[in-house]
Amino acid sequence: MAEKEQHRVSYDFVEGPAAFDLAALVYVESRLHRCLFHFRNGTTLSTYRKLDDVEKLLADERMLRIHKSYLINVTYCIKVSNYSLWLQDGQIFSVPRARYHYVKECYIKYCLEKGREA
């Protein structure tokens, strides 16, 4: 269990190589042929890889693909309702109808496993 919490990833970003703990990554956004990694401390790093490739690299139960352009760390999620997902910092992401039930099911499963209220 502690091993999952300490999942470190090394990656070559446009800004230079960096290593980070997956727990510090809030979400990854695909925009204008780049993937932007948004971290808890407000830092944003970018890469020219596809989000599908990034998703494979970060393969972890905490990372949830909610949209073709967003990969969210469910650790920071506080609510999934009405085709939307809310993060702790107040950001709201739209969840497409086609993925909504999958996203909600994954979020509830994660909350149950971690003993959190869904």
Q: Where are the domains of the chain?
A: 2-114
Q: Full-prediction pTM beyond 0.85?
A: yes
- Name which CATH class applies to 2-114: mainly beta
Identify the pLDDT of residue 61. Answer: 87
**Mean pLDDT over residues 67-73, rounded?**
96
Q: Band of the pLDDT at 3, cuts 50, 70, 90?
A: very low
Phi and psi based region of residue 34 (left: phi greater than 0; alpha: psi -120 to 50; beta: remaining): beta
Q: Tokens standing for 40?
A: 């808890």
Whole-angstrom distance, CA of residue 48 vs CA of residue 36: 9
Helix then strand count (H, E) for the chain reads: 3, 10
